Structure 1
Amino acid sequence: MLIIADLVHTPVLHQLEILRNHLLVINEQGFIEYIASSDLPESLRILQDAHESPTVVPSGSFLLPTFCDLHLHGPQFLYQGTGLHLPLMEWLDEYAFKAEERLDADPVLAETVYQRLADRLIEHGTGAVLLFGTIKTETKYGIQKLTPFKSSQIFAISLILANVMQSAGIRAFVGKLSMDISSHPTYVEESAEAALSAAESFATRCTALVASLPEHERLVQPVLTPRFVPTCSDRLLQGLGKLSRQRRIRIQSHMAEAQDQMEHVRQERGVDDMAVFQRSDLLTDRTVQAHCTFLNAPALSSLAECGTAVAHCPMSNAYFSAEPFRLREALQIGTKVGLGTDVAGGYSIDVMNSMRQAVAVSRIREGARIMGCTNAKQHGNPATTHL
């Protein structure tokens, strides 16, 4: 495939690069094998020797890399944009757990929801996504439209999610939820041992899902997914940490997200959730933790040291967190940060909306910082607030 267009990307933090009138050559495996100004002699030779005419993107439009959504709950797409009036722990009981349990009980509905989710992701320019699934391990369901499943095969419900993303051409890192503690008695795994067995089984089968495909076509990978500390026993978390070490599987969860969640963990465990994750060996360079709004600079520095990334979800933070994420401090420290839509805690699946919200939150924080310094000077006191 040959494309002539203006290209826009950000190769490093704080740098926006615009490549005008460039030739892009994409090989049969989907890899970019040539990129340079279309006026160069080599580009002109490629165009002359090509057996196809290039696609020319008209002036005023441009191409950019697809967006990466670092935090999205696949089953919660079922009720996107509703039920955002409750504190986090109540919201989970009232909406999230019920929606996930409903999809676990209805694989036909699950396929329908996940297919629409894939369509919307593509429409909004998302080409890679880190997904939370549901907890159910096995069901019988014959998927007729999609491959590579065969009818009446037994598999984890979250494999429907993985299969839909693979078929849609979306690079997806998919997690079957692990949770052996729950305030919703019908939506919980039997024990830590059962949850660990299910997580390992899912990882094996998710990998096998694409094993027969050429390497460049394997778009889905499994992710170990303890929902968050309030729904996972220490035994389960430690077992997932061990499994990740042994098989080099990625990890995703939520951390330091909301006041009620933080207080719940302190009362139950005697420490904050970051300490629980650390002692379970779940803060690694394979880990993405969503939110982290209550982490101060030293805690963010610790994340940078262990290589753990943060999924910054400014839209859902506005609903469920009493604190904004300290984005500027995190970037200055060297913490890895990406954006997440956090559907359905966030009401929009569009990463562009997450970008806009991140800018708005940052401007509000900067205004608060300036006002704090001004007030401190007026009262003759040093500014002690670090936003």
Structure 2
Amino acid sequence: MKEFALVFQGTAFTSRSTKEIEILKDYLFCINEDGMIEKLVSPESAEYEEIIKQYEFKDSFHRLEKGQYLLPGFVDLHVHAPQWAQSGTALDLPLYDWLNTYTFPIESKFSDIEFAEKVYDDLVRTLLANGTTTVLYFATVHKEASILLAEICAKQGQRGLVGKVVMDNVDQCPPDYRDKDTETALKETEEFIIAVKDLAKSTKQGVYPVVTPRFIPSCTDEALEGLGRLAAKYDTHIQSHCSESDWEHEYVIDRFNKHDAFALNDFGLLQDKSIMAHCTFLADDDAELFAETGTAISHCPISNVFFSNGVLPVAHLHSKGVDIGLGTDISGGFSPSLFDNARQAVISSRMLEEGVDPKLPKETRGVPSSRITMNEAFYLATAGGGDALSLPIGKIEENFAWDVQIIDTLIPSAKLPLFNERLDEVFEKIMYLSRPENIREVWVQGNLVHKRN
């Protein structure tokens, strides 16, 4: 029998589709040296007992304890890494004022490498402890600090997709926080891409450079065009914000006489490895362009409550064929937990369907067929994120990375109220009630990266 690097025995929950959960009860999960799932073995399989007999007394064998369950590691599609320093504060202003009053001054401090290292190290540890195994990061305009974030992800074992932010539009960016000029922004972006690709050669779980125009208001046409060329030259992921708020959406219409989606596409920034945050104000033709180009949406439900002036119509956009994943949007979203954001995704969808103004008749108060279930929110946090990034992550399935979190429902400080429920009900309680204390272990690409004593 072939040797495996790791064998786990236990019950796992994973997405079968956008709406269905698959329960793998008492399975064996066989992991190879590369940290990939090579084989799933059900208890009914002829080789089940044979594998247990071969591995059960080896250090590589891990049997889950009573009350423990496996979930895929979460995929966070939108984190402003420097904003971890202000997370949980300064959520009192509209987006434009918030950026200029609080956020840009914080981000400008990341020219100080020691400060950057302190914040980034703490952020990556925090996200891993919250079960997040892959993160799509905005860094800052500073090349050195952006490379440092990728290095910290590599060191701590998190799969990090990191972007050096481009902000060269003097009309929209503060004088003390922007790229020196367009030529410098593009030159440093290319140097950043090369440095991270070199780092990736020695990083098992992968780190990736991401072309990152902050959003259209912060960038000149020349920068947007140059970034599209760089993304094509190096085959990188692309991230930005799109149709996020009334202000940002209307700014782009005034500047280009078209929506963000079509403006970004004109610059070569919409493609199969593009992820656009928020997208609250996408029109149907915008959504069709996303589906046609393979561009995905990062849905940030907590942040949207504060800054996006609306609720993303997840169900409608899925019906249009648009890929959607979940993001915390630290620090526009105050919580680093995708558990919290999955819950808010469900809540927001119910509010969109039922409406929020009690003065209106119930027949016209909301948007019909907008609600999503927790199964769908779980998909967004896991498989949806993997699909958005075009990476084999987010599912407990053969040929996918062994990125998992082990949830302990019986831990005394955070015991879940379970009383002989069916496994599908156990899953639902895990998703609605789990706290960070319930996440006992986190594995990325077959390596243990977090363990709670």
| Structure 1 residue 101 corresponds to structure 2 residue 108 | yes
8 Å contact kept, 2:167–2:173 = no
- Number of the residue aligned with 2:151: 163
| Structure 1 residue 133 corresponds to structure 2 residue 139 | yes
- Number of the residue aligned with 1:22: 27
Q: Secondary structure at the match of 1:277?
A: helix
Q: 1:245 to 1:113 in 2, by over 3 A?
A: same
For 2:353, the aligned partner's letter is: E
Identity score, percent: 35
Q: 1:385 to 1:126 in 2, by over 3 A?
A: closer
Q: Secondary structure at the match of 1:90?
A: helix
The structural deviation recorded for 1:47 is: 1.9
8 Å contact kept, 2:9–2:29 = yes
- Number of the residue aligned with 1:9: 14
For 2:194, the aligned partner's letter is: T
For 2:301, the aligned partner's letter is: P
Q: Secondary structure at the match of 1:85?
A: coil
Equivalent of residue 115 in structure 1, options 112, 117, 121: 121
Q: Secondary structure at the match of 2:30?
A: strand
Distance, in Å, in 2 between the alignment partners of 1:183 and 1:24 is 50
Distance, in Å, in 2 between the alignment partners of 1:366 and 1:386 is 6
Distance, in Å, in 2 between the alignment partners of 1:73 and 1:24 is 34
The one of the two structures with greater contact order (alpha-carbon pairs below 8 A, sep at least 6) is 2
The structural deviation recorded for 1:269 is: 3.5
Distance, in Å, in 1 between the alignment partners of 2:38 and 2:363 is 56
Q: Secondary structure at the match of 1:62?
A: strand
Equivalent of residue 82 in structure 2, options 75, 78, 91: 75
Distance, in Å, in 2 between the alignment partners of 1:225 and 1:252 is 5
Q: Secondary structure at the match of 1:64?
A: strand
- Number of the residue aligned with 1:172: 160
- Number of the residue aligned with 2:92: 85
For 1:290, the aligned partner's letter is: A
Which deviates further from its counterpart, 74-83 or 23-32? 23-32
Distance, in Å, in 2 between the alignment partners of 1:100 and 1:345 is 14
Aligned residues: 360
Q: 1:33 to 1:189 in 2, by over 3 A?
A: same
Equivalent of residue 249 in structure 1, options 224, 236, 244: 236
Q: Secondary structure at the match of 2:212?
A: strand
Q: TM-score when scaled to structure 2? A: 0.76
The structural deviation recorded for 1:194 is: 1.4
The structural deviation recorded for 1:25 is: 1.8
| Structure 1 residue 200 corresponds to structure 2 residue 190 | yes
- Number of the residue aligned with 1:330: 317
Cα deviation 1:225-256 (Å, max 9, x = unaligned): 00000000111101111111222111000010
8 Å contact kept, 1:4–1:38 = no
8 Å contact kept, 1:87–1:260 = no
8 Å contact kept, 1:369–1:386 = no
Q: 1:370 to 1:98 in 2, by over 3 A?
A: closer
The structural deviation recorded for 1:321 is: 1.5
The structural deviation recorded for 1:283 is: 1.1
Cα deviation 1:297-354 (Å, max 9, x = unaligned): 2321221111100000011111012221111111111100000000000000000111
For 1:359, the aligned partner's letter is: V
Cα deviation 1:22-81 (Å, max 9, x = unaligned): 111222322222211245331211122236163221233210110000000111001111
The structural deviation recorded for 1:279 is: 1.1
The structural deviation recorded for 1:122 is: 1.1
Distance, in Å, in 2 between the alignment partners of 1:69 and 1:80 is 16
8 Å contact kept, 1:5–1:62 = yes
| Structure 1 residue 186 corresponds to structure 2 residue 199 | no
Q: Secondary structure at the match of 1:300?
A: helix
Which deviates further from its counterpart, 365-374 or 29-38? 365-374
| Structure 1 residue 31 corresponds to structure 2 residue 36 | yes
Cα deviation 1:94-127 (Å, max 9, x = unaligned): 11111111122x1111111111111111110000
Q: 1:289 to 1:295 in 2, by over 3 A?
A: same
| Structure 1 residue 289 corresponds to structure 2 residue 276 | yes
Distance, in Å, in 1 between the alignment partners of 2:263 and 2:362 is 39
| Alignment root-mean-square deviation, CA | 2.2
Distance, in Å, in 1 between the alignment partners of 2:168 and 2:24 is 51
- Number of the residue aligned with 2:373: none
Distance, in Å, in 1 between the alignment partners of 2:84 and 2:356 is 36
The structural deviation recorded for 1:4 is: 1.0
For 1:166, the aligned partner's letter is: A
For 1:199, the aligned partner's letter is: T
- Number of the residue aligned with 2:408: none
8 Å contact kept, 2:91–2:332 = yes
Distance, in Å, in 1 between the alignment partners of 2:117 and 2:32 is 32
Q: 1:22 to 1:386 in 2, by over 3 A?
A: closer
- Number of the residue aligned with 1:57: 64
Gaps of 5+ in 2: 1-5, 371-453
Which deviates further from its counterpart, 41-50 or 198-207? 41-50
Distance, in Å, in 2 between the alignment partners of 1:75 and 1:369 is 34
8 Å contact kept, 1:297–1:329 = no
| Structure 1 residue 43 corresponds to structure 2 residue 36 | no
For 1:242, the aligned partner's letter is: R
Q: Secondary structure at the match of 1:128?
A: strand
Distance, in Å, in 1 between the alignment partners of 2:58 and 2:363 is 66
The structural deviation recorded for 1:218 is: 4.9
| Structure 1 residue 268 corresponds to structure 2 residue 255 | yes
8 Å contact kept, 2:270–2:290 = yes
For 1:172, the aligned partner's letter is: G
For 2:76, the aligned partner's letter is: D
Q: Secondary structure at the match of 2:355?
A: helix
